[in-house]
Amino acid sequence: MMKRLLSIFSLAILMVSCAPSRHAIHVEMRHPSRSGIDLAGKIVSVVFAEENADQVTRSMAESFTRSLKEDYGEETVELYSVNGRTQEYTGRDSLVNLLMRTGSDVVFLFDSRKGEKGPSGLPVNVALYCYDGMNKEDKVQSFSGTKILAASSDKEFMEEAVKAGALVAEPFETQWKHEQYSIAYYESNSWYEALVRADQYDWKGAMDIWMTLLNTRDIMKKASAEYNISVACYMMGEFDLATEWLDRSDADNKLPTLSDALRKRIEARKQ
């Protein structure tokens, strides 16, 4: 009986010794905008209708577009004008048509109307219609608000319009959040090298090394490498691949705390 207890105790020590160590990596992760629309990695077009576009609308639309360019990239956002009135383009089919004409993934239809000037300035009512061709919901989203342009000269008035356009863009800009992720590793040169690359945010380089570590009979090490590959896929925005690799890791030998936390993050980004 004592020998059997000793054997079980020895096996328990062996199992614990096979568990991977964990290394925390701190990153600033890009998240969808406050509006809920995710523009990262997408081609965006901003459109205004000529018939409704006075100089205020043009200036605000230009400023709105410029702000999105600064956030998402100069080559990913373009401003266009179309003939006719704004009301002709607010429906889903019309916005899909604009999407196809501009070769974009997301289209914003930008409109603004002046109100009656008051003591605090000139109110400008802004309306935005957005259609995201990559969103499974397949619907038009609309946003509206009022901006007060306070100015005493034409020059100041246009400067205020530019500022207002930038303010309209803010809810659609990236949210950056500080997050911590765990990487599994073992005490060997290959695992250390992959860890160094992950610390440098070279996720492709780290993943290439973890791929070579899959060829092992140690099921815990294989599951750890698969988990790490899932993290790398997530970091590179490949959320479906991240799920596939995490499923493999769970099937081989689930790393409970690590796996559950990562899966929640993946599912949140896939929605």
Task: Give the CATH number, domain containing residue 239.
Answer: 1.25.40.10
List pLDDT tens digits, range 19-33: 899 999 998 888 788
> Averaged over 81-96, what is the pLDDT?
95
Is residue 9 pLDDT above 50, yes or no?
A: no
Residue 3 lies in a domain: no
Residue 6: predicted pLDDT: 36
> Averaged over 241-261, what is the pLDDT?
95
3-state secondary structure of 27: strand
Q: In terms of domains, do 155 and 50 share one?
A: yes
Backbone angles phi, psi at 39, to 5 degrees: -100, -5
Residue 271: predicted pLDDT: 64
Q: How confident is the model at residue 122 (pLDDT cuts 50, 70, 90)?
A: confident
Residue 6 lies in a domain: no
Q: Are 171 and 35 in contact (CB under 8 A)?
A: yes
Residue 15 lies in a domain: no
Task: Please state, for a pLDDT cut of 90, what percent of the chain lies above it.
Answer: 71
Residue 97 lies in a domain: yes
Residue 153: predicted pLDDT: 77
> Which residues is 201 bridged to in the sheet?
none
> Averaged over 127-133, what is the pLDDT?
96
Give me the CATH number covering residue 158.
3.40.50
- Domain end among 173, 202, 224: 173
Q: In terms of domains, do 208 and 168 share one?
A: no
Residue type, 49: A
Nearest to 135 by CA among 37, 266, 235: 37
Task: Tell me which of 145-149, 201-205, 241-245, 260-264 is least confident.
Answer: 145-149
Is residue 2 pLDDT above 70, yes or no?
A: no
3-state secondary structure of 127: strand
CA distance 249 to 58: 53
Q: How confident is the model at residue 224 (pLDDT cuts 50, 70, 90)?
A: very high
List pLDDT tens digits, range 191-223: 999 999 999 999 999 999 999 999 999 999 999
Average of per-residue pLDDT values in the chain: 89
Is residue 156 pLDDT above 80, yes or no?
A: yes
Q: How confident is the model at residue 176 (pLDDT cuts 50, 70, 90)?
A: confident
Is residue 102 pLDDT above 50, yes or no?
A: yes
Alpha helices by DSSP H, 103-216:
154-169, 189-199, 203-212
Q: How confident is the model at residue 5 (pLDDT cuts 50, 70, 90)?
A: very low
Q: In terms of domains, do 263 and 246 share one?
A: yes
Nearest to 239 by CA among 261, 211, 267: 267
pTM: 0.69
Q: Whole domain around residue 61: which residue ranges?
A: 44-173
Q: In terms of domains, do 169 and 185 share one?
A: no
What is the number of structural domains in the chain? 2
According to DSSP, the β-strands at 175-185 and 140-149 are unpaired
Residue 33: predicted pLDDT: 86
Q: In terms of domains, do 183 and 127 share one?
A: no
List pLDDT tens digits, range 34-88: 898 989 889 999 999 999 888 889 999 999 999 999 999 989 999 999 999 999 9
